[in-house]
Structure formats: C-alpha cells, structure tokens
Structure 1
Amino acid sequence: MPKLSQIVAVEKGLKSRTAAAVTKIYHDLQKPALFAGLSRKYTPVDDEGERFPPESTLVQQHVDDQLRSAASQLTKLFDVVATKEVGNTGTFADVVVDGVTVVDGAPVPLLLFLEKQLVDLRAIMVKAPTLDPSEAWQLDENAHGWRTEPVQTMRTRKVPRTLVKYEATDKHPAQTEVYMVDEIVGHWAATKFSGALAPARRDVLVARIDALADAVKRAREEANGADVEQVRVGTAVFDYLLAP
C-alpha cells in the first residue's frame, strides 16, 4: 500500500506528462488528413494503352486509438489524484448515472478534478473527425476503419479527327478541318479509407460525457452539504499578527 507522501510526490510530474500527451492528441484530432486514406488503380482500355502505377495513401491514425491513448494517460492520473484526495479528506459522495454508480465515495477535491477533466474531454470529443455523410462508408475490419466502394472514373486523351466540309472535284481540292475529340484510354478505380468516427458514435460519446459531468456536479453538491467540524484559527492568527 503506497504512502500518501509518495502519491503527492509523483502527482505533479504525472499531471505535466499527461497534459502534454492529451494536448498532442487534441491537436492531432484536428488534422483530418491523418485519418484519411485513398487507393487508386488504373486500367487501360486495351493492352497497348498507357499504364500508370497504383496510387495509395495510408490512414495514419484512428480516432478510436487516439481516444484509447487519452484514456490510458488520464486513467493513471485519475487514479493518483483519487488516491491522494481520498486519503486527504473525509467528505464523500457517489457519482451515479442512470442508477449506476460510476465512482464510489468520491471526495470533493476529486469531484472538482473530474469536472475539469470532463470539460477537457468534451472539447476533445467535439473536435474528433467524423465520416463524410456524402459518402457510403462500410466497416473494413482489415483496415481497422472504414472504406467506400471503388468509384470508377475515365481517363481520356485528345485525338485528332478530320472533318470533310466539301468533297474534292475536278476543279477544286477537298476542303477539310482538323478537330480534336476525347478518346477513353483507361479507367481509375478510387477507394477512400477513413479512421474517423461515425457521427452517431460521436454524438453518443458526447452525451455520455455530459451525463457523467452532470452526475459529478450533483455528487459535489451532495458532498458539500455534509456536516463538518468547525475549525477556528483566525483569532490565533491575528492575535499574532496584530500583537503590540
């Protein structure tokens, strides 16, 4: 069993490291390019057509992974702060959401800490990238994310054609005009990938944060209403400060 002094000694450094890690996650979640991928493959119309190598961009990060990373960092900090505050106070209240006790016997300082952390978590969550609703996304277990069906587009090239305005006669040569037309030479098949959240999933997570934040506030109000022993130190302090 750790001593309270040991918990207090590690708290400051842990808070600093956790803040840096969560801040990085917060900024990464505001970079949609990290969560987007693409695969394009080209097929010429015939064997003699020009060929192009396939193109791809890998999804670099996934929102769920980032959230789990933030949770891992914050869990260590929550546990240290909870251990310290439970050993440092005698005023407690349960955090209850929809009849379920999420945190049992939380002291007021821990409840204040949780309130602040939930505000920060909500700020992270509302910034999390969501899937483009204009696309039809499907879960891709192999890619650990989402993908679209391939969309095919054409590749064309300009080819000259000759228009005969007037046929040749024994007195005049033929009158012609050269014009350009687009000829299909191949097709691109593009598949989009994403590590973003489904909008409905993000809404659920934000709602859970809000529900827990409300429960923490109710618990704090309950704990603050508990009877405490009156401590009087003012007289002694000012007797000393104002002594003749």
Structure 2
Amino acid sequence: MTKLNQIIALEKGVKATAETTLTKAYHEAQKPDLFAGLIRTYEPLEEDGYVLPSESKKVTAKVPSLVSEIEAAVERLIDLTLTKDTANAVAKADVKVGDTVLAADVPVTTLLWLEKQLTNLRTFISKLPVTDVADDWTWDGDNQVFRSATVKTMRSRKSEDFIVVVPPTDKHPAHVEKVTKDVPEGTWSTTKLSGAVSPSQRDTWLAQVTTVTEAVKTAREQANLAEVVDAKMGKKILDYIFR
C-alpha cells in the first residue's frame, strides 16, 4: 500500500505538471488564430473563365483538446492533494527523546510547524549574550544577575613640587625645577554585573533544542510512513464543470 511519504514525494512533480499545463493552455486560449481554420475555393462563372487556386488554413488548436489536457493534469493534482490531506488528518507520531515521550500522537502537520519553530528558537539561543570568560562570575540570587570578582584600582592625583637640581654656590644661585608627582588619593573597587548567561548554559540549551528538533524530525518521518488510501474527487468536479 502507498505510504504518505511517497505521496509527498510525488506532489511537487504533479503540481508542477498541472501548473505548466494550465499556463500553456491559458496562453493558447488567448490566441484566436490558433483555433481558426479556412477552406476557400474559387469557381469562375464562365466555363473557360480564369481559375484561382484554392486557399486553406488548418485549425492548429482545439478547445476540447485543451480541456482534455487540463482535466488529466488537474484531476491528478486534486486527487493527490485530497489523498495527502486525508492522510495528514490521521498521520500521527510521538516526539521522543530516549525513553521520554515529550508529546504523544502529534499530527504530522503540527510536527512540520513545530520543526520550523524549533529552528527559529535555536537561532535565538545561538545569539544570546554570554558572560566574559576572562572574569570569574558568581550568581547573585537576590538581584538575579552574575557578579564578577571585585577588582581594586588606585586613584591618584597630580601634585606639583620643586626640587633643587644644583645647590647654590657663592657665585651661582640654586637651580630649581618643578616636578609633577602622582599622589595616591583613594581606591576604586569595581564589581561587574551581567544579565547574560554562562557560555556553558547557552551550549546546554543549544544541545537540548537540537536534540528536540531531531526528535521532531524523526517523529515526522515516522508519521509519514502512514499508509494512505487513494481518495478521488477530481473527475466528478471536472465533469460537472466541463460536461
């Protein structure tokens, strides 16, 4: 018996064939000359009168033929889509990680949707800011942030002074120069705060969302193994339209 995954594999080609056939017929239908033919003969009034050659133009396109092509392609697409959608309504599978069932009997259409959501979620997690590995961080539960180790740095101020470079003599005065000194004035104590997550936490989340995504893909593949019963409605619909 046909499996759902086989129907899905066929769908793209059948849809493309139907669209191509319909587009081709649509364009042909807008060229009246293709549907027009002619047979024209000339007969002189006098027996020995001048005879002109006959003229003819074949009909190169026929509406019934176009309709038949459309019916064949569209009927196949309608029936295939009905078969797929009918099977999708009953195709289900469990999302499992190891022996843990995260969700039971999930419809295949939901699994497809969930797979896309998890892909978006993984992208979000991969862009989360993480704490700088150059610092040592501890968790501050009261403020729900990370705190780095406190680093102390000295604050100083500039102080000017004068020093005697050359002492005075009985002949020359002392040579004095102005110098600037850094005088310690206080100490800065700096503690960094971070609302980011640790790199290991982000890596854990990435690994877990990847695991769940793989479980969803496996469930989808399992659901697509559901057996299908060929459903048909295309002929009746098209017969009603064209008969």
Q: TM-score normalised to the size of structure 2?
A: 0.61
Contact 2:135 2:149 in 1 (8 A): no
- Counterpart CA distance in 2 for 1:226 and 1:89 is 11
> Which segment drifts farther, 233-242 or 91-100?
233-242
Deviation at 1:203, TM superposition (A): 0.6
Match of 2:152 in 1: 152
2:121 is the counterpart of 1:118? no
Q: Residue deviations 1:85-119, cap 9 Å, x none?
A: xxx92211001111211110100111011101100
Deviation at 1:163, TM superposition (A): 2.4
Deviation at 1:142, TM superposition (A): 1.6
Match of 1:213 in 2: 213
Equivalent position SS for 1:115: helix
Q: Residue deviations 1:122-154, cap 9 Å, x none?
A: 011001111100001011112212101211111
- Counterpart CA distance in 2 for 1:172 and 1:232 is 121
Q: Residue deviations 1:27-65, cap 9 Å, x none?
A: xxxxxxxxxxxxxxxxxxxxxxxxxxxxxxxxxxxxxxx
- Counterpart CA distance in 1 for 2:203 and 2:98 is 18
- Counterpart CA distance in 2 for 1:115 and 1:140 is 36
Aligned ranges 1:22-41 → 2 under 5 Å: none
Aligned ranges 1:76-155 → 2 under 5 Å: 89-155=89-155
Match of 1:175 in 2: 175
Match of 1:233 in 2: 233
Contact 2:162 2:177 in 1 (8 A): yes
- Counterpart CA distance in 2 for 1:155 and 1:237 is 88
The one-letter amino acid of 2:144's match is H
Deviation at 1:174, TM superposition (A): 0.6
Aligned CA-pair RMSD: 1.4
- Counterpart CA distance in 2 for 1:176 and 1:129 is 57
Contact 2:156 2:185 in 1 (8 A): yes
Deviation at 1:228, TM superposition (A): 2.3
Larger Cα Rg: Structure 1 or Structure 2? 2
The one-letter amino acid of 2:149's match is E
The one-letter amino acid of 2:94's match is D
Stretches of 4+ aligned residues off by more than 6 angstroms: none
Q: Residue deviations 1:167-207, cap 9 Å, x none?
A: 11222111111011111111111111112111111111111
Q: TM-score normalised to the size of structure 1?
A: 0.61
Deviation at 1:210, TM superposition (A): 0.6
Aligned length: 156
Match of 1:46 in 2: none
Equivalent position SS for 1:123: helix
Equivalent position SS for 2:132: coil
The one-letter amino acid of 1:154's match is M
User: Which sections of structure 1, spanning at least 5 residues, go unmatched?
Assistant: 1-87
Equivalent position SS for 1:165: strand
Q: How high is the sequence identity, in percent, across the aligned residues?
A: 39
Equivalent position SS for 2:185: strand
